[in-house]
Structure 1
Amino acid sequence: MSIVVGYIPTPEGRAALRASAEEAKLRGTRLVVVNSQPGGRQYDEHEARRFEDELATITRTLDQIGVESEVRTLVRGKDPSEDLLSIAAECDARLIVIGLRRRSPVGKLILGSNAQELLLKSTCPVLAVKADATDRG
């Protein structure tokens, strides 16, 4: 059993990571951090190195607070929701954690497509969190 979190280096991603680490510690379970990248020109060598450094820091931090973790960077060209659902099924996830960004009044009518896909297709609970001041930098 595990908790799966979708992580990107944004305030929303940091909020999801924080919440998932708290849940993993509370439940005494492993945390699988998933960084899903589109690949292609958007993911160059410099960007890859930056993500690797940040994910290594995350791993050290989780170790320090006593959360067993695994970090997976996926560059398969799939939607992040597909990657998260796939990893959640593989890891027998008990929870998926995602960060949501604030939206305009019109944007509130429809969740982001990845969040909507996760909520509709996940076989386990999905915790959606918003960033607060501590996540912004």
Structure 2
Amino acid sequence: MYHVVIAVDEETERARRQARAVADLPSSDEEVRATLLHVFTENPDGASATQVGSVRRAEELLENVGVEVEIAERSGDPAPTVLDFAQSEDADCVCVGGRNRSPAGKAIFGSVSQSVILQADRPVLVTGGGEPE
């Protein structure tokens, strides 16, 4: 079974693109297992990843096409947390959602996807971004 960790933030359309990319993998309904990972940077209300709309939409899409899916949550700095989780789960691949950012946006905010790509010790699947932020 090929295990993909999908790092899902709050953006629903990005999460759907990620789920669709995993669902489109060959034999995904028989040979792919996905873990939707949401990393909370702040969670004063004690929310669960199952309460995050983007996680629920991605889960629905994957389940509808027959991909085995589970949900996980962690707290912390997103990029290293995603990488640590993927390693602890011995995931075969990490899926991140790209964002189409302006050069100023990249310089000011950085990029979780870029950090995961550059620091991962396993393959990283990057889905396309939407409009520039």
Give SS of 1:23's match: coil
Residue 13 of structure 1 aligns with which residue? Answer: 15
1:29 pairs with 2:32: yes
Q: TM-score, normalising length from structure 2?
A: 0.74
Asked whether the equivalents of residues 16 and 58 of structure 2 are also in contact (C-alpha less than 8 Å), the reply is: no
Counterpart amino acid of 2:120?
A: S
Counterpart amino acid of 1:22?
A: D
The structural deviation recorded for 1:26 is 6.7
Residue 63 of structure 1 aligns with which residue? Answer: 63
Asked whether the equivalents of residues 36 and 59 of structure 2 are also in contact (C-alpha less than 8 Å), the reply is: no
Asked whether the equivalents of residues 29 and 68 of structure 2 are also in contact (C-alpha less than 8 Å), the reply is: no
Structure 2: distance between partners of 1:50 and 1:114: 18
Structure 2: distance between partners of 1:131 and 1:27: 28
Q: For 1:46-125, what aligned pairs fall within 5 Å after superposition?
A: 48=47, 52=51, 54=53, 55-56=55-56, 58-74=58-74, 76=75, 78-107=76-105, 112-125=110-123
Structure 2: distance between partners of 1:96 and 1:68: 16
Cα shift readout 1:67-124 (whole Å, capped 9, x = no counterpart): 01111122x2x11112211121122111111111111145568993322221121111
| Aligned pairs, number | 127
Asked whether the equivalents of residues 21 and 31 of structure 1 are also in contact (C-alpha less than 8 Å), the reply is: no
Q: Kindly report the root-mean-square deviation, in angstroms, between the aligned alpha carbons of the 2 structures.
A: 3.0
Question: In structure 2, do the counterparts of structure 1 residues 26 and 68 end up closer, same or farther at CA, with 3 Å as the change threshold?
Answer: closer
More helix by share: 1
Give SS of 1:73's match: strand
Structure 2: distance between partners of 1:39 and 1:99: 20
Counterpart amino acid of 2:86?
A: A
Counterpart amino acid of 2:65?
A: I
Q: Which has the higher contact order (CA 8 A, sep 6+)?
A: 1
Q: Which range is displaced more, 123-132 or 80-89?
A: 123-132
